[in-house]
Structure 1
Amino acid sequence: MDQIDESSQARSLEGFTPLLSIHEACGALLMILVIIWTSYYRDGFSWKSNPQLEFNWHPLLMTIGLVFLYANAMLIYRTQRNVRKRRLKFTHAGMMFFIVLLTVIALVAVFDSHNLASPNPIPNMYSLHSWVGLTTVILFCCQWVAGCVSFLFPGLQGPLRASYMPIHVYFGVAAFVGAITSCLLGLNEKAIFSLQDKYKTFVGEGILINCIGLLFIIFGGLTVYLVTQERYRRLPRPEDDVLLSR
């Protein structure tokens, strides 16, 4: 019986490793291209002493946190399927908390770059990018708090956890899609504002921005596929319920 179960699980996981490898390669390339863009084309990084360069922390940290790390945090139950459930839960929650910290720094950077701009400050929260982005951040933080209460609080009954799980998964994926959408809107906004008419002439920076946008779409699509495929789910183990009741 165990051999049949193992054989069935192996068949259900067919294609997972190649897709995951492509997924991680796209994520690594995405971060490298964002670093090249912000370092080479946007002149690097600073803090409040140079608000224009302080802005560059915003796209970099959002890409690392709300895109790459968020994707891997959602996939951790599928990539680390042999690790005990209790450890996975704390790792997942810890990654989410680290993403919150990166997001806060990224938000401080963008608000500083607007408010400290000289000679005239730049208005905040007027664009569709900012509206979608802030909505995504709020949803992400609510997800993290609700997940910690639901899955790490030892006194919560199993049926309540089970009933909340589909909601947690749905809104987790929704927040990730919102993050990808916000990144695409932000890229387009930055390209139009910074390059202006040069964007139409296929300058190097414009082509790089477009390539980054395509990678966001590919990486996001692969993430959603891997997260939502039932056949890639981690199979429950007998010790899971015991571990979660402690």
Structure 2
Amino acid sequence: MAPEHRSGPAVDTRSVLGKVAAVLYSFTADDHGVGLAELGRRTGLAKGTLHRVLSEMVEVRLLERTGNGYRLSGQVFQLGMRASVERGLLEIATPFLEDLYERTHELVHLGVLEGTEVVYVAKIGGHRQAVSPSRIGGRMPLHCTAIGKALLGSSPPELLARVVEAGLTRRTAHTITAPGLLRRQLERVSRSGVAFEVEESAAGIACVAAPVLDPADRPVAAISVTGPVTRFRPEDHAVVVKAAAAGIAGTLARRAALLQRD
């Protein structure tokens, strides 16, 4: 049977490595749990062979079992990060994120834009950190997160149009779902260089974020600080978040200039 779905290149499934690659490539960014039958349809592997491959991939932590099937593990994300373009960003950003945590003692995030979502590539927090739905390698909508709005506010208007077209999903009673209201908020983000969220992605948390811009003012990433609404005032941390984002941007630009000279 020929596979009907594949997110990566075609592979020869006659080898063990090919079978493993077929399974890995069969997952999409939106999958949270895929059943055996669906994986069989996507990979074209026989049920018995597929079940054996899946079991071995779970054993070596390339996959995780869920209530409704299988999903890629956090280990796969970590492996990808070692070879991805975000690796240089993470290496440069980490000292700034750690300094930001020491200054605020609140939850600190680094996120990058992918499609119409933010993908979290770093998360630093301590025992006082807020309970946040974010996780390393996880995704959140752009329109209801401070990092997402920081990225949106510094992106071309076409991105906002795509986000609105996809639908402004309501996650809490405070989520902005009116396109006009979101657009006006993003105009303020563009002018000030900082974005705010108060209980828009999850109840009980507030965030402040700033974009990390390249020399052409395009967003490379964004960073945020998150705390519980009971004691955290995001506006009080806007200056240090913006300064950390500028520090990351400056260091990235200097490294890029050095590489070009070499």
| Structure number with higher strand proportion | 2
- TM-score, with length taken from structure 1: 0.25
Higher relative contact order (CA 8 A, sep 6+): 1
- TM-score, with length taken from structure 2: 0.24
| Structure number with higher helix proportion | 1
